[in-house]
Homo-oligomer: A and B are copies of this chain.
Amino acid sequence: MSSPIKLDQTDRKILNILQKHAKITNAQLSKDIDLSPAPTLERVKKLENSGIIESYHAKLNGHLLGLNIYAFVSVKLKNYNKKSHNSFISKIEDIDEVIESHSVTGKGDYLLKVVAKDVSAYEDVVRDRISAIDDVSSLESMVILSTSKDSKVIPVP
């Protein structure tokens, strides 16, 4: 288990700003945290090198791209051995429409997040690609009707 890395209040400010708005310039970031550009840059690099900042991503608007169905799919497997899990995970990896896959406690074994352009395309993904994996026993769809929060910001302790 890795122990949490020590951060001061300035580091926390940096992380909160970059989670919300990664494209800020170093010059602007330094103003927002009341520091000069040089040490600001150094702190950002340190956060990147330590692995606390993993990566930077553009968030797209799915609707404008014609992706109108978002859903969570709860999956139960037939068997609980390591081979079955690994087999399932590697097949899920290849399905671009599955954008998240988590092993979870509760009634299902995996919870997937799936995106598709319409109900018909969604049906294709669920029936022809996910159900088609032998390791899968049953599925339950939770189609997203609306999203009220998708903050992309985890609370820095």
Contact = CB atoms under 8 A, between A and B. Distances in A.
B142 A99 contact: no
A139 B141 CA distance: 18
A148 interface: yes
Interface of A is mostly: mixed
Contacts of A56: 21-23, 56-59
Question: How many copies of the polypeptide does the oligomer hold?
Answer: 2
B67 A60 contact: no
Contact of A99 (B74, B100, B144, B151): B151
Interface string A14-39: 01001111110000000000000000
A34 to B, nearest CB: 20
Interface in A68-116: 70-72, 74, 89, 92-93, 96-108, 111, 115
5 contacts: A4-B66, A22-B23, A22-B58, A53-B61, A99-B152
Top 5 closest pairs, chain A to chain B, by CB? A4-B66, A18-B58, A101-B149, A22-B56, A104-B142
Interface of A: 2-5, 7, 15, 18-23, 50-67, 70-72, 74, 89, 92-93, 96-108, 111, 115, 117, 140-157
